[in-house]
Amino acid sequence: MKLDLPRYTERFGAISLHGVQRVYELDSGFNNGRTASETVQSIGNDEISEIEKKMAIVIPIKGERLKLLEGVLSGIPHDCLTIIVSNSPRQPVDRYKLEKEALEQFNRFVGKNAIILHQKDLGLSEALKQVGHTTIFGPDDIVRNGKAEGMITGMLLAKMAGKDYVGFIDADNYVPGAVNEYVKIFTSGIAMSKSPYTMVRISWIYKPKVSESGLYFSKWGRVSEITNQYLNSLVSYYTGFETEVMRTGNSGEHCMSIKLAELLTYSSGFSVEPYEIVNILEEFGGILPTENFDAMDKGVEVMQVETRNPHFHEEKGDDHLKEMFNGSLSCVYNSKICPPKLREKIIEDLRGRGILDEGQDLFPLKKISPFKDIDIHQFAKILHEKATSFVHSV
Ligand code: GDD
């Protein structure tokens, strides 16, 4: 893959927030490590392939159409470990069983390494309880509903499988070729990064919508513009310079090194992606005290790469847009580093949009603790013994 070197970087404590980088060639051949020019870097196929072997791709899924899941599976490079974490209904039709069968059939033909697990499996909750990772539980002492909860379960499975990197791809993508591009971007970003603490986020070139006059190639989602605006305001407040660096606040498609992933605190449901950025600013921004000395020393890199493929996914309607909107702004609003002026602005904005009433406040987010200290061997042992939905096919 041939892509821009970061042209612009916002430095915030130990964090390097790189501006959006463009892809020039999806496949740039085997010229490993060759710099195509002073501003463009070529990541050769051998290097990409080596990183893919160390990467797990987590697909969170809840009741998506099987045809879409099958397409997504076919887009993931063979050497990555595929991990499906499902929260699909098991009654009246056992949708999880159908997903498992589709995965097993796919694997039979391609001979691939894959894991599938249901988020509500009591054996999973038992394993998490035994290792003390209970902030992911609801009041019933089992893993809560939510995309973040699925992603975190997937990260634990990736760590358990000994992977160094973990990426996330939604199950409702219509274009297998786009899925393939996301993973190539993940691996290229990792190859370019100078720190072991790295995150690579996808910025979609277009998110097309069907309109009466045909396809409209819009650039921004309805929530993402506002999320980015407030994340940028948070950065600007401390640097004293306005910035537009953050463009991927809500990006569901992103990857991290496990070394970074295990240090972060996560927030529940659909606020997970913007909160990753807020938590990185909290942990490594040099404003609050931290115990993560190695990351402070080596630095944390956040890359944002614009795809060549447009993003075609299932449109779910407006139901959870409000949840996403509130969740995204709540991340900033409730952060320990959010200045009072910015908090006031967020509340005014939400009242102006009729989302909050006078006197009403933004709900605090449910947080999930970092997983760096959990005993992953103990977790694996109990999961293998107790989780009835768990399948690891090689
Ligand atoms: N395991 C699991 N558990 N998966 C879930 C759950 C859950 O409780 N809820 C949703 N998912 C899966 C969906 O099946 C899908 O694969 C993925 O998570 C994203 O959910 P969607 O319902 O399709 O979300 P969206 O398309 O509105 O929003 C997506 O894009 C946003 C950026 O535009 C999500 O990825 C957001 O997180 C992202 O911010």
Range 6-15 burial, b when 16+ CB lie within 10 A, else e:
beeebebbbb
Mutate to test the pocket of ligand 1, among 57, 59, 62 (most ligand atoms within 8 A of CB): 62
171 lines ligand 1 (CB under 6 A): yes
Residues 20-63 pLDDT 10s: 999 999 999 987 556 667 889 999 999 999 999 999 999 999 99
- Residues 147 and 267: their CA atoms lie apart, in Å, by 10
- Would the CB of 274 count as within 6 Å of ligand 1? no
- What are the backbone dihedrals phi and psi of residue 324, each rounded to the nearest 5 degrees, phi first? -65, -40
Average pLDDT on 229-252 reads: 95
Residue 117, in any domain of the structure: yes
Q: Ligand 1, residue 315: give the atom nearest the CA.
A: 26
Please give the average per-residue pLDDT across 235-258, as a whole number.
95
Q: Is residue 144 part of a domain?
A: yes
- Asked if residue 123 belongs to a domain, the reply is yes
286 pLDDT tier (thresholds 50, 70, 90): very high
338: in domain? no
Tell me the CATH number at 374: 3.90.550.10
Tell me which residue has its CA closest to atom 38 in ligand 1.
252
**Residue 33: its pLDDT value, please?**
56
Confirm or reject: Cβ of 150 under 6 Å from ligand 1.
Answer: yes
Residues found in the chain: 394
Flag the least confident range among 289-293, 348-352, 372-376: 348-352
- Pocket probe mutation, ligand 1, options 65, 83, 116, 147, max atoms within 8 Å of Cβ: 147
Task: Flag whether 339 is in a domain.
Answer: no
Q: Structural domain tally of the chain?
A: 1
DSSP category for residue 109: H
Q: pTM for the complete prediction?
A: 0.96
116: in domain: yes
Residue nearest to atom 30 of ligand 1 (CA): 252
Would the CB of 271 count as within 6 Å of ligand 1?
Answer: no
Instruction: Read off the pLDDT band of 321 (50, 70, 90).
Output: confident
Any ligand 1 atom below 6 A from CB of 170: yes
Residue 63 maps to a domain: yes
Indicate the pLDDT class of residue 375, thresholds 50, 70 and 90: very high
Q: pLDDT category, 11, cuts 50, 70, 90?
A: very high
The whole-number pLDDT of residue 350 equals 86
Most informative mutation of 119, 170, 271, 312 for ligand 1 (most atoms within 8 A of CB): 170
Is the distance from the beta carbon of residue 327 to the nearest atom of ligand 1 less than 6 Å?
A: no
**For 99-116, b where at least 16 C-beta lie within 10 A, e where not — what string?**
bbebbeebbeeeebbbbb
What ligand 1 atom has the least distance to the C-alpha of 119? Answer: 1
Proportion of the chain above pLDDT 70, given as a percent: 98
Let me know if residue 343 belongs to a domain.
no
Residues of the domain holding 78: 2-205+241-308+370-393
| 175-225 tens-digit pLDDT | 999 999 999 999 999 999 999 999 999 999 888 877 777 878 887 777 888
How confident is the model at residue 306, as a pLDDT?
Answer: 96
Centroid of ligand 1 to alpha carbon of 60 (angstroms)? 7
The average pLDDT across 145-162 equals: 97
